[in-house]
């Protein structure tokens, strides 16, 4: 906040020395924002574990998430197409964590489609499990990135934290689910998350 106040103070000055100081302050501001993002990502990663599993309709979670996410997607020219299978069985889930997982996957998809693109979100039942599928038609991953994407701090982005996918995987595992990824450079990326149906996990 003090930094913002300082920038505000100097913004009205035309003195060359103040302009130079202002430039430096803008750099410090953007580095602070970057550190804040890394810290947020790290805290999210560290906090997965405090789970509150209740019978949950995945379609409602996805719909509520999309209501919130759609404006951001529109801003970045990302067209979302949801295909939610009606009458999905409940999963034992922690909704805030599922939203976090969706957010991280959609952010990555958006990062992979800097000029915009298509983001498909499907729910369905596969082999007695509830499936969540997230598909983008972005830049995709080569073998090297594919083999390391779940490693903590692995990132191909200059300002990436490398904690997005490790957090997603941690959330999926905490729900006794599995995550699988298919990706080809230039073709796009598909993440498939399978979650156990609620009756299987409840006692």
Ligand X SMILES: Nc1ncnc2c1ncn2[C@@H]1O[C@H](COP(=O)(O)OP(=O)(O)O)[C@@H](O)[C@H]1O
Point out which residues bind ligand X (CB under 6 A): 104, 108-109, 111-112, 136, 138-141, 145, 149, 154-157, 160-166, 189
DSSP secondary-structure letter at 125?
E
Q: Are the C-beta atoms of 112 and 146 separated by less than 8 Å?
A: no
Rounded to a whole number of angstroms, the minimum distance from the CB of residue 26 to ligand X is 23
Is the Cβ of residue 105 or residue 131 nearer to ligand X in the bound state? 105
Neighbour tally for 72: CB within 10 Å: 13
Instruction: List alpha helices for the chain, DSSP H.
Output: 2-11, 16-47, 58-75, 95-111, 143-148, 164-174, 198-201
196 makes contact, choosing from Mg ion, ligand X, none, with CB < 5 to 8 Å by partner type, with: none
The site for Mg ion, by CB under 5 A, has a size of 2
**C-beta of 44 vs 189, nearer to ligand X:** 189
Q: Which does 116 bind (CB under 5 to 8 A by kind): ligand X, Mg ion, none?
A: none
Residue with tokens 């913002």: 4
- Which of ligand X, Mg ion, none does 189 bind, CB closer than 5 to 8 A by kind? ligand X
Restricted to residues 142-171, the positions that interact with Mg ion (CB under 5 A) are: 164
Asked if residues 137 and 99 have their Cβ atoms less than 8 Å apart, the reply is no
Question: Given 3-state DSSP classes, what are the helix, strand and coil percentages for the chain, each rounded to the nearest 5?
Answer: 50, 25, 30
Site membership for Mg ion, residue 183 (CB under 5 A) = no
Q: Which residues lie near Mg ion (CB under 5 A)?
A: 108, 164
């Amino acid at each position: 906040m003090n930094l913002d106040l300082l920038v505000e103070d100097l913004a009205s000055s035309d003195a060359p020395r103040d302009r130079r100081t202002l430039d430096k302050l803008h750099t410090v501001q953007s580095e602070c924002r970057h550190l804040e993002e890394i810290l947020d990502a790290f805290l999210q990663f560290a906090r997965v574990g405090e789970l509150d599993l209740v019978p949950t309709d995945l379609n409602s979670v996805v719909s509520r998430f999309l209501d919130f996410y759609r404006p951001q997607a529109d801003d970045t020219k990302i067209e979302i197409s949801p295909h939610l299978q009606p009458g999905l069985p409940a999963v034992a889930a922690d909704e805030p964590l599922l939203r976090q997982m969706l957010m991280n996957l959609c952010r990555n998809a958006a990062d992979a489609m800097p000029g915009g693109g298509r983001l498909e979100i499907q729910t369905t039942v596969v082999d007695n499990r509830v499936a969540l599928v997230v598909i983008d038609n972005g830049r995709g991953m080569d073998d090297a990135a594919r083999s390391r994407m779940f490693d903590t701090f692995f990132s191909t982005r200059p300002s990436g934290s490398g904690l997005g996918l490790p957090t997603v995987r941690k959330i999926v595992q905490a729900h006794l689910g599995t995550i699988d990824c298919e990706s080809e450079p230039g073709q796009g990326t598909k993440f498939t998350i399978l979650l156990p149906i609620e009756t299987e996990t409840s006692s």
